[in-house]
Amino acid sequence: MTGNVVLLGFAVAGAPGLSIARSLTSLVAFLVGAALGGRLGVAMALASRRRWLLTAAWAEALLLVAAAIASIGLELGSATSPSRLYIVIVLTALAMGLRNATVRRLAVPDLTTTVLTLTLTAVAADSSVAGGDNPRMGRRVASVLLMFAGAAVGTLLLRWGLALPLVVSAIGVLAATVAYGDVPTSRNPSAGSGQTPLK
């Protein structure tokens, strides 16, 4: 969404080829998704951590699969089917908002879904070169490399249309959530993070 805010600023200032409507639609849908994710976290505060995470993951995956279905046959460079394009934008932004609200509630250090700037800063600022002791260096570097790999794989999958990377994303969400949900709470990095503990 940082990019959408920046692109919206460019579009308002008259930069060619940018859409105010698309950026605004994405931002509003993201905020709605984040609000729904927050509501889900509150509603499931007494549920087990695994149940809450799986509920959020299934909701996100269903949104992504719906976006994949809506995107079948959609050509991104074409002016045809603008309503279908907006459906894809809304569904994916809702999924992103839900994911970010969920990850924020988990409060795992150095593992945000959308912002790597602070992680990269921490890698350098906490390094032994800077006089630090390299805390969580493996996790920090892994999160940057995995974000890079995900972007590269997603771009390669776009060769077969927009639906395939969306479906792969939905499967990845469910697989990662199941794997994370099986980590015992005592080993969960969010323990002691100041967030309300989930059972």
Supply the angle between the helices 49-71 and 20-43 in degrees, to the nearest 10: 150
- The pTM score is 0.74
Encode pLDDT of 61-112 as tens digits: 999 999 999 999 887 666 566 888 999 999 999 999 898 888 888 877 666 6
Cα–Cα distance for residue pair 86/22, rounded to 1 Å: 7
Pair 16, 77: CB distance under 8 Å: no
Angle at CA of residue 75, ends 71 and 81, nearest 5°: 70
Cα–Cα distance for residue pair 60/169, rounded to 1 Å: 10
Q: Would you say residue 114 has pLDDT above 70?
A: no
Selected residue with higher pLDDT from 33 and 118: 33
**What is the pLDDT, as a whole number, of residue 193?**
41
Cα–Cα distance for residue pair 143/125, rounded to 1 Å: 17
Centre a 10 Å sphere on the Cβ of residue 154 and count the other Cβ atoms it contains.
14
Alpha helices of 44-181 — where are they, by DSSP H?
49-71, 82-106, 117-125, 137-157, 163-181
- Which amino acid makes up residue 176? A
